[in-house]
């Protein structure tokens, strides 16, 4: 009997005297140079930035943490680049400014932001879409940031759920995805006097690009509120807008039930994903393509970017690391797969 | 350094404890009077641990703290006082049932009980029943169940107790309990109020927990009356009104808050006569929450559920060795909330329990249960258990059972994502226990295996929503050891209690350990009392946990192991037959350990608490 008791006591002592292995909790040695590569943001949490060099030879996860020995908040929403700086937008209300090549922290913008989403630049000014209180559909705004002082100098009130922002010829275009609700508006803000016009599009406008003709290309995912009674479901579409008079050139609607949410654009061709198939839409197209270019294999596509002959897709996991997949645009073959952070979303080229 | 101290302390105490030969024959396992008779009569083959009021009294903080320092259960706490969820034998919070005076109080919204919304000041004892208990306690009792019991004291008495606590972070805790009884009547009233700024330092940073203040008021009323010699009427009521700001993380500030209101009322009529006992219970439970993402805003989301429960237990003693019992149970749930409409559910269940004790050495239980539910089909559940006394002090316990966890209203109706095609999670398990009860020490050693399929998991689907599916298969196995030693010598008393668990809980396909399940967890308390003094030391060790399913180590993927300890002193200022005044001082996290049990959510630094406990 005594033996049993002693062995139990010994066991408990062993447990208490276990030493912690602290080594794995130090930041990894940072590369220090993040140009000539691909950056993938991980929404989190914890949020992170991953790097893959253009030649795919070097990869690093948690770049910001490794360089600065601190974490970004959750959830990492987007990155913006201006000159040699990168702006890391976290929807808890902060934008962290870093050197885009070394990722060393230069400062933060936190006052005046509540639920920031995306950032765009025009000279010394940045524009940040902000949902404010997401439950309040009337308090949304675009924050105007002075990049010299990194402060919000004014706000421009806009309609519910401003999402992506794009500056073109002294105008700021804001897609109103709708936040927690559904919206169908593109705001057009004159950056010189902050006057506001709106363009109505299909529901849930999100991704925006300027095409080769200088037109604005918008992906509207369409409402998909199957849980409402009666359910609300509207058609998705890709809209091309003439920026000289904000008129709609084409509005190519998807069949009911199809809700593409990711689109990217390069040199005369927009690419979007629908049910794990990649489609290409030429600028001159008057109908949506019916045959896909190729198929991809992801669990949950959460980011899409194109460069030259390569299509990059984030296959997001929210409970573990995600994967960045690379496809050859001509053959559709998978040419690379890299581990990225938790909840990997947008893909940027640095 | 601190580890050395702990080691020395442990060794000293152990040596002292073991060097003594038993001099007395004090009864260590007090006869426990439970109102939930199933725990006594139908759990012979299960590990059951009782935390009595002496342990509850010493706990001046949360229910979570009580359990993490005194049981094998691991807790995830979103910062001190915030949402707290247990992992029992490697299972998740929705697989742990919380039973209040015999009925389940897990929320039908998320399947869980938030352990920081339970106030133990008005609870007489907490019983931890390890292992599957769905046959007796329904959905969710997969890892184990935790029972909160109020006992009614008949017999002529009138006692009152006031507890006043004041502690760090401007924490105030006031409680008053009054207990009255005569031959026919028992009344127990308790009021408790807690208020804390909870603005502790995030150790190792210059941050403080800026949005963590909470307060809550709880009211208990328990009443028992013998209508006749055979009939007892009992009424239990509990109200809980709480408001909590929700702590941010080290990297993300928060400005949100929760308001909770829970009301539980149960009327019970029991009639016993000779060989039978019949108990009818009618209960009404109500839970309400309001969530303010911005606590200064008027916008909030809400959820509420009202539950009506009717239950009939019938116990029939056929012979000295054979007892049969039937339970008929009807539950009606009505929910309403911002994100899930107005769902309803009715559940009817029939349970048969057979207890066969062929000799004083052997105890066997055979139990069956079938639920009929409006939303989905429930599996037929069973449990078989047995206990055999090999010697006077050594007993073997064995149980095997099938258990389940029903999809919650959130799982089924959440907008968007809710999935009406879900089926219940089902789980098989086996548990072998050894109990050594040798005069001055008790040892419990359990090994278990749990296999769960159709586990409900929320993942993003192709239409961009998060939705639940019956996807995961998991299995858990492990070992639990508990050692209690009590020694008396002259006026000195030394009491050592400890728990250790080794838990492997894996995704059955990837064989990766589930997130937030430590392989090792251990706790120990040493209490020494002499005359009017009592001194105690509590220690908790929790091993490293993974925070992502990849099982990688490092700051983005895992949390460090930690040791946290409390030290307390009590002094009996005076004691007469009618009056007693105790003064207590407790130092929590005495070594100022930096630790988190949820990533980016630090737990408090060293803090203090003073308690005055006056009984009259």
Q: Do A24 and B554 touch (CB under 8 A)?
A: yes
From B22's Cα to the closest Cα of chain A, the distance in A is 14
Q: pLDDT per residue over B367-391, tens digit each? A: 999 999 988 899 999 999 999 999 9
Distance from CA of B100 to the nearest CA of A (A): 33
Does the pLDDT value for residue B266 go beyond 60? yes
Looking at every residue in chain B, the average pLDDT score rounds to: 89
CB B304 within 8 A of CB B108: no
Nearest to A165 by CA among A216, A214, A120: A120
What local confidence, expressed as pLDDT, does residue B467 receive?
86
| B153 touching chain A per CB within 8 A | no
DSSP B65: H
How much helix, strand and coil, in percent to the nearest 5, is found in chain A? 5, 50, 45
Question: Using only C-alpha atoms, what is the Rg of chain B?
Answer: 24
pLDDT of B375? 82
**CA separation for the pair B503, B91 (Å, rounded):** 10
What value does the mean pLDDT take over residues B231-253?
A: 92
Asked if the model's pLDDT at residue A229 lies above 80, the reply is no
Question: Tens digits of per-residue pLDDT, B497-522?
Answer: 999 999 999 999 999 999 999 999 99
A11, A24, A342 ranked by CB distance to B500: nearest: A11
What is the rounded CA–CA span in Å between residue A173 and residue A70?
Answer: 34
* Span B292-307, pLDDT tens digits: 988 888 889 999 999 9
pLDDT at B577: 86
DSSP per-residue codes, B439-501: TTEEEEEEEEEEEEEEEEEEEE-TTS-EEEEEEEEEEEEEEEEEEEEEEEETTEEEEEEEEEE
Whether the CB of A300 is below 8 Å from some CB of chain B: the reply is yes
Q: Tell me, what's the pLDDT at B85?
A: 92
Q: How confident is the model at residue B36 (pLDDT cuts 50, 70, 90)?
A: low
pLDDT at B1 (0 to 100): 45
For B119, phi then psi, to 5°, come to -105, 125
For position B471, what pLDDT does the model report? Answer: 84
Alpha helices in chain A (DSSP H): 2-16, 63-68
Taking the CA of residue A272 as centre, how many other CA atoms within 13 Å lie in the half-sphere pointing to its CB? 27
pLDDT for residue A230? 79
* Residue range B399-455, pLDDT digits in tens: 999 999 999 999 999 888 888 999 999 999 999 999 999 888 999 999 999 999 999
User: What pLDDT, in 10s, does the model give residues B112-138?
Assistant: 999 999 988 888 899 999 999 999 999
Nearest to B250 by CA among A225, A260, A73, A61: A73
Across B323-330, average pLDDT: 95
DSSP state of B208: B
**At A344, which helix (H) or strand (E)?**
strand A344-349
With contact defined as beta carbons under 8 Å apart, do A222 and A259 qualify?
yes
Q: With a CB-CB cutoff of 8 Å, which residues 263-282 of chain A face chain B?
A: 275-276
Residues in chain A closer than 8 A to B72 (CB atoms)? none
B510 in contact with A at a CB cutoff of 8 Å?
no
**Which residue is closest to B9 within chain A, CA to CA?**
A13
pLDDT band of A27, cuts 50, 70, 90: low
Q: Using CB atoms, pick whichever of B415, B500, B544 lies closest to residue A12.
A: B500
Asked if the peptide bond before residue A45 counts as cis, ω within 30 degrees of 0, the response is yes
Our CA dihedral for B195, B197, B202, B208, rounded to 10 degrees, sits at 170
- Using left for φ > 0, alpha for ψ between -120 and 50, and beta otherwise, residue A202 falls in beta
Alpha-carbon distance A266 to A280, whole Å? 10
Q: What would the pLDDT profile of A315-325 be if each residue is shown by its tens digit?
A: 999 888 999 99
Q: How far is A158 from chain B (nearest CA, A)?
A: 20
Contacts of A8 in chain B (CB under 8 A): 443, 481, 483
User: Is residue B61 scored above 90 in pLDDT?
Assistant: no
Distance from CA of B128 to the nearest CA of A (A): 21
pLDDT of residue B15: 38
For the segment B258-272, the average pLDDT, to the nearest whole number, is 95
Q: Model confidence over A266-282: pLDDT tens digits?
A: 999 999 999 999 999 99
pLDDT at A22: 46
Please indicate whether, in this complex, the C-beta atoms of B600 and A71 are within 8 angstroms of each other.
yes
How close is the nearest chain A Cα to the Cα of B430, in Å? 23
A320 within 8 A of A299, measured Cβ to Cβ: no
Q: Across the beta sheet with A48-53, what order do the strands follow? A: A59-60, A48-53, A37-42, A344-349
**B337-346 per-position pLDDT tens digit:** 988 889 999 9
CB contact at 8 A, B402 and B381:
yes
Q: How many CB atoms neighbour CB A107 within 10 A? A: 12
DSSP-derived secondary structure for B234-270? EEEEEEEEEEEEEP--SSS---EEEEEEEEEEEEEEE
Is pLDDT above 70 for B13? no
Q: Measure the CA–CA gap between B425 and B405, rounded to whole angstroms.
A: 5
Phi-psi region of B5 (alpha: psi -120 to 50; beta: other; left: phi over 0): alpha
Angstrom distance (rounded) from CA A66 to CA A80: 20
Of B236, B230, B306, B234, give the one whose Cα is nearest residue B271. B230
Confidence check: pLDDT of A173 > 70: yes
Q: What's the whole-number average pLDDT of chain A?
A: 91
Which position has the token pair 């020490």? B441
Indicate the helix (H) or strand (E) that contains B137: helix B134-137
What ipTM, to 2 d.p.? 0.81
Residue B554 has a pLDDT of 86
Whole-angstrom CA distances from B540 to A98, B3, B78 are 41, 12, 18
């Amino acid at each position: 009997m005594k033996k049993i008791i002693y062995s139990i006591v010994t066991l408990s002592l062993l447990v208490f005297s276990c030493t912690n292995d602290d080594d794995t909790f130090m930041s990894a040695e940072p590369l220090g140079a993040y140009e000539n590569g691909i950056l993938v943001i991980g929404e989190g949490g914890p949020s992170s930035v991953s790097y893959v060099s253009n030649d795919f030879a070097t990869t690093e996860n948690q770049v910001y943490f490794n360089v600065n020995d601190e974490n970004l908040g959750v959830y990492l929403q987007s990155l913006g680049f201006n000159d040699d700086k990168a702006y890391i937008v976290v929807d808890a209300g902060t934008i962290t400014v870093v050197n885009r090549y070394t990722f060393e922290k230069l400062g933060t913008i936190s006052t005046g932001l509540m639920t920031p989403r995306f950032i765009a630049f025009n000279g010394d000014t940045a524009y940040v879409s902000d949902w404010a209180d997401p439950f309040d559909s009337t308090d949304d705004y675009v924050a105007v940031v002075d990049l010299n002082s990194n402060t919000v100098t004014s706000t421009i009130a806009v309609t519910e759920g401003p999402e992506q922002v794009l500056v073109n010829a002294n105008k700021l275009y804001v897609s109103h995805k709708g936040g927690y609700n559904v919206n169908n508006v593109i705001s057009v803000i004159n950056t010189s006097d902050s006057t506001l016009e709106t363009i109505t599009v299909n529901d849930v406008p999100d991704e925006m690009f300027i095409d080769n003709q200088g037109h604005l290309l918008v992906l509207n995912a369409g409402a998909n509120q199957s849980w409402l009674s009666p359910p609300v479901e509207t058609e998705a579409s890709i809209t091309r807008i003439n920026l000289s008079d904000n008129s709609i050139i084409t509005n190519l609607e998807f069949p009911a039930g199809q809700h593409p949410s990711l689109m990217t654009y390069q040199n005369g061709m927009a690419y979007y994903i629908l049910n794990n198939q990649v489609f290409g839409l030429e600028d001159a197209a008057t109908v949506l393509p019916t045959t896909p270019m190729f198929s991809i294999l992801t669990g949950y596509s959460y980011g899409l970017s194109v460069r030259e002959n390569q299509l990059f897709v984030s296959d997001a996991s929210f409970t573990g690391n995600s994967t960045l997949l690379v496809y050859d645009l001509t053959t559709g073959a998978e040419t690379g797969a890299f581990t990225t952070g938790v909840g990997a979303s947008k893909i940027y080229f640095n | 350094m601190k580890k050395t101290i702990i080691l020395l302390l442990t060794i000293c105490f152990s040596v002292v404890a073991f060097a003594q030969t038993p001099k007395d024959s004090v009864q260590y396992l007090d006869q426990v009077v439970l109102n939930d008779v199933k725990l006594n009569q139908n759990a012979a083959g299960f590990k059951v641990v009782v935390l009595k009021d002496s342990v509850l009294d010493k706990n001046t903080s949360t229910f979570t703290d009580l359990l993490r320092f005194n049981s094998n259960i691991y807790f995830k706490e979103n910062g001190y006082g915030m949402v707290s969820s247990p992992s029992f034998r490697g299972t998740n919070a929705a697989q742990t049932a919380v039973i209040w005076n015999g009925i389940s109080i897990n929320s039908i919204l998320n399947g869980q009980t938030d352990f920081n919304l339970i106030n133990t000041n008005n609870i007489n004892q907490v019983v931890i029943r390890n292992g599957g208990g769905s046959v007796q306690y329904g959905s969710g009792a997969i890892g184990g169940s935790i029972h909160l019991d109020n006992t009614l004291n008949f017999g002529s008495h009138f006692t009152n107790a006031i507890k006043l606590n004041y502690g760090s972070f401007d924490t105030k805790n006031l409680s008053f309990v009054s207990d009255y009884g005569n031959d026919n009547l028992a009344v127990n009233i308790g009021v408790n109020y807690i208020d804390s700024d909870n603005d502790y330092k995030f150790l190792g940073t210059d941050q403080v927990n800026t949005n963590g203040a909470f307060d809550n008021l709880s009211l208990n009323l328990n009443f028992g009356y013998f209508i006749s010699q055979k009939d007892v009427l009992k009424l239990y009521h509990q109200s809980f009104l709480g408001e909590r700001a929700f702590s941010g993380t080290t990297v993300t500030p928060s400005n949100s808050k929760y308001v909770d209101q829970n009301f539980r009322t149960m009327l019970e009529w029991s009639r016993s006569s000779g060989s039978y006992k019949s108990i009818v219970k009618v209960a009404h439970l109500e839970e309400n929450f309001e969530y303010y993402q911005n606590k200064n805003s008027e916008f909030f989301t809400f959820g509420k559920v009202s539950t009506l429960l009717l239950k009939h237990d019938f116990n029939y003693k056929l012979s000295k060795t054979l007892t049969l019992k039937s339970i008929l149970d009807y539950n009606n749930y009505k929910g309403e909330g911002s994100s899930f409409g107005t769902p309803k559910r009715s559940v009817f269940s029939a349970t048969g329990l057979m207890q066969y004790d062929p000799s004083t050495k052997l105890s066997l239980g055979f139990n069956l249960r079938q639920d009929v539910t409006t939303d989905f089909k429930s599996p037929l559940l069973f449990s078989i258990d047995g206990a055999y006394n090999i010697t006077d002090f050594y007993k073997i316990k064995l149980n095997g059972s099938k258990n389940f966890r029903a999809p919650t209203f959130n799982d089924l109706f959440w907008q968007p994502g809710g999935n009406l095609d879900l089926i219940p999670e089902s789980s098989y398990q086996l548990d072998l226990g050894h109990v050594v009860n040798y005069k001055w020490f008790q040892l419990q050693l359990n090994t278990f295996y749990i296999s769960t399929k159709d586990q409900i998991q929320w993942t993003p689907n192709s239409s961009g929503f998060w939705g639940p599916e019956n996807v995961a298969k998991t299995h858990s196995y492990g070992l639990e050891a508990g050692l209690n030693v009590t020694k008396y010598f002259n006026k000195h008393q030394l009491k050592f209690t400890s728990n250790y668990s080794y838990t492997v809980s894996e995704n059955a396909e990837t064989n990766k350990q589930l997130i937030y399940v430590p392989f090792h967890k251990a706790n120990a308390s040493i209490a020494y009392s002499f005359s009017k003094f009592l001194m105690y030391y509590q220690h908790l060790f929790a091993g490293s946990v993974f925070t992502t399913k990849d099982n990688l180590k490092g700051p983005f993927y895992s949390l460090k192991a930690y040791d946290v300890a409390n030290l307390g002193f009590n002094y009996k200022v005076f004691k007469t037959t009618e009056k007693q005044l105790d003064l207590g001082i407790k130092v929590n996290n005495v070594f100022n350990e930096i630790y988190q049990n949820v990533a980016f959510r630090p737990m408090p630094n060293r803090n203090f608490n003073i308690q005055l406990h006056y009984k009259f």
